[in-house]
Chain A
């Protein structure tokens, strides 16, 4: 990092304020991260306020079919006369929820497995790592498709399927962090004081291992959103009456030669959200000083 300050005054300060100021420094300079924060906040706001600000019911059909974007229907209507803007707005709720819930699940179980494997080593490590190696044998997307195929579609199944596909990434990162940190003197110190393994893992190792995990989690949210959209697009998604972005695109696909807006806007929403999260993730990587090779 070329912009890392090395003068003794700042390095001597405790870690937390330094990180804070570093966040401010990175985010105040990074235009892309600012764009990301702004756009993502707008989408979050839109998702929360959807019931209040959506001009139409997202599933309400009308005779005004495949109308081009106009004052009446900001983004036009679909083949059943449903308002595209309202549908996309409601779809934001699903996308963001799936993104956050999926990563929350993968983070919790993945980090838990990684902590156990790295901290205890031995046969626990071996079993966990064999499982993770096995998961490596499948491309993530194929895992998700296969799980949805086996257990069926629906919100919960989609979340579990994508979370399982991401599990190994978190376990791997957490394990490698634990292996490095385990050798630190302050861990020995904690052990000598007679703290329990649980306490050492959660209070001493985990907080110091968080930087790469936070960055991975941020980027994973964007992949989870892409994954959900893709599954929905293939008809393996949440359900057929919930307007999700992937499903809106799949529904509109047959009409794109006559109604381009059906093919353009839902995808644009996906891209803007994913792009914003990636911008933020990149800035976080700088702020937390995480190398890309940590993954």
Chain B
């Protein structure tokens, strides 16, 4: 087991290094000139020189990379090229709690929809209920999350005026306030994701229900409820763990878009604004952060799987 963990950790570290190299060098290919954009009117040659020197763009690219990379290892991601030139790490740390709140609430919404839906579909196979869940899953997968976000705003914010259409309040200012701002975005992101989980739970439940131990449980005279919740569901959830890795990618991609609809200044909004402003350091930092979370979540999934299924450790 230890050997397996070491191997996976080294692998993940190498992937992260490669990601850092890729993120750094690819952005050097950007066609636009950020110096020209930044100086807008006051583009005197002296000002240009000074700025290039301040950003270290006069040094060889390898030196720039080394400086950037050692900085990254110390948590220094450079400074934004815009506004008050805030440190990128600072901007990302401000954005992170919002995106995390949103991702967790979306995950919660997805599970709350998916678990009952998946169980009902499996226990009522080939009935109207099963067909309904299947249709819901298809709709959830086919609906763009930003469109669902717009529909929710039209219904709950513009017409019924029950919930705010934009903004974010931290949970420290009250759970209810926090929830009011985040519930619509969370539904917009969580619905598509719930479709994926519901399908997985259905098919893995169907397999589990055929298992010998379910027959044993039935012959012991256990109630349907106990059989389903205590015996079938925990076993059916094992393959669902694999979606945790996919989950992260989906939740983050969802957040990137949906934050922009609801004007929540999370990672997604920071990333898109960074792109619009050609703010290299911010875009680099955001992509690096998202990718490292992704690598980390894949690593955790692999390790969890190795704990559950010992065969994986030796392959």
Q: Which residues of A does B touch, CB under 8 Å?
A: 32, 133-134, 136-142, 145-146, 148-152, 222, 226, 229-230, 233-236, 246, 249, 253, 256-257, 260, 263-264, 266-267, 270-271, 274-275, 278-279, 282, 292
Contacts and interface: CB of A to CB of B under 8 A. Distances in A.
B303 to A, nearest CB: 16
A222 B142 contact: yes
Nearest to A134: B18
List 4 tightest A-B contacts by C-beta distance, closest first: A267-B147, A139-B249, A141-B253, A257-B158
Contacts of A148: 275
Contacts of B16: 137
Interface in B149-195: 150-151, 153-154, 157-158, 165
A133 B12 CA distance: 10
A271 B143 contact: yes
B71 interface: no
B295 to A, nearest CB: 5
A233 B253 CA distance: 13
Nearest to A149: B275
A271 B139 contact: yes
Given A256-B154, A275-B139, A230 B146 contact: yes
Contacts, number: 127
B26 A253 contact: no
A138 B275 CA distance: 17
A142 B157 CA distance: 29
A279 B29 CA distance: 40
Given A134-B19, A137-B295, A236-B275, A267 B144 contact: yes
B35 to A, nearest CB: 17
B151 A264 contact: yes
Interface stretch (B218-226, B230-238, B254-262): B254-262
Contacts of B142: 222, 271, 274-275, 278
B287 A139 contact: no
Nearest to A272: B142
Contacts of B261: 253
Contacts of A263: 147, 150-151, 153-154
Interface string B129-141: 0000000001101
A146 B271 CA distance: 9
A271 B144 contact: yes
A138 B294 contact: yes
A253 B257 CA distance: 13
B150 A146 contact: no
A279 B18 CA distance: 38
B270 interface: no
Interface in B261-292: 261, 271-272, 275-276, 283, 287, 290-291
Contacts of A279: 138
Contact of B29 (A141, A151, A230, A266): A151
A249 B261 CA distance: 11
Nearest to A142: B290
B106 interface: no
Contacts of A230: 144, 146, 257
A260 B147 CA distance: 12
Given A137-B19, A150-B27, A142 B252 contact: yes
Interface in B291-310: 291, 294-295, 298
24 contacts: A136-B298, A137-B298, A138-B291, A139-B249, A139-B294, A141-B256, A142-B252, A142-B287, A142-B290, A146-B23, A146-B283, A150-B29, A230-B257, A234-B257, A234-B260, A249-B147, A256-B158, A257-B154, A260-B154, A263-B154, A266-B147, A270-B147, A271-B139, A271-B142
Given A234-B272, A275-B142, A138 B158 contact: no
A32 to B, nearest CB: 7
A230 B26 CA distance: 22
A10 B213 CA distance: 37
Contact of B138 (A134, A136, A270, A278): A278
A279 B154 CA distance: 28
B143 A151 contact: no
B294 A145 contact: no
Contact of A146 (B26, B153, B276): B26
Nearest to B18: A134
A68 to B, nearest CB: 14
